[in-house]
Amino acid sequence: MKKTIILSTLVLAIVVACKSGTDSKTNVLTINLEPKSGSNVTGTATFKEKNGVVSFEAKLSGLKPGVHGIHIHEKSDCSAADAASAGGHWNPTHVKHGKWSDAEHHKGDIGNFTADTDGNATVTLKTDEWCIGCGDVNKDILGKGLIVHANPDDYTTQPTGNAGGRVACSAIIK
């Protein structure tokens, strides 16, 4: 009887520990951006998912000072010299392009950021609209491409935001 109680308690403790460990698991993916369209733009982007929220941070250099657009595109293909192989903006819900804070926006519409006078910038975003490898076609960023644009996104031109050439690209893959 004592062995059964001890064994049952041990099994229950293992089950509780495993369950609580799963809830707080952090999924991290870091990618390297490469220059495109004759630019010198490079950088890294890190996606961290914890408890259903993805934190995104990109650290970029080699940019022209000023405002630039950044988006997730539909394909993880950066093979073209101008990164056109990454396709258009990732838009699995088939809505209009817009500002991230607007009710209607592509899942890939991260927005604008400003490069300093040395051409460096950091971009951050937190969202529950993305996941890393969850398999949900409306949320999963794996298999997509991250694109940095030469110009700012105007948030109105459909479907691109008129952000200009693609100056850096990376596949979002493990």
Average pLDDT over residues 60-70: 98
Is residue 7's pLDDT more than 50? no
* Run of H or E residues at 7: helix 2-23
Cα–Cα nearest to 109, from 99, 117, 119, 101: 99
More confident residue, 33 or 6: 33
Average pLDDT over residues 50-64: 98
Is residue 9's pLDDT more than 50? no
Domain range 26-172, CATH architecture? Sandwich (2.60)
> Which residues have C-beta within 8 Å of that of residue 6, sequence separation ≥ 6?
none
pLDDT one-digit tens code per residue, 80-130: 999 999 999 999 999 999 998 888 999 999 999 999 999 999 999 999 999
Across 3-7, 105-109, 139-143, 168-172, least confident range = 3-7
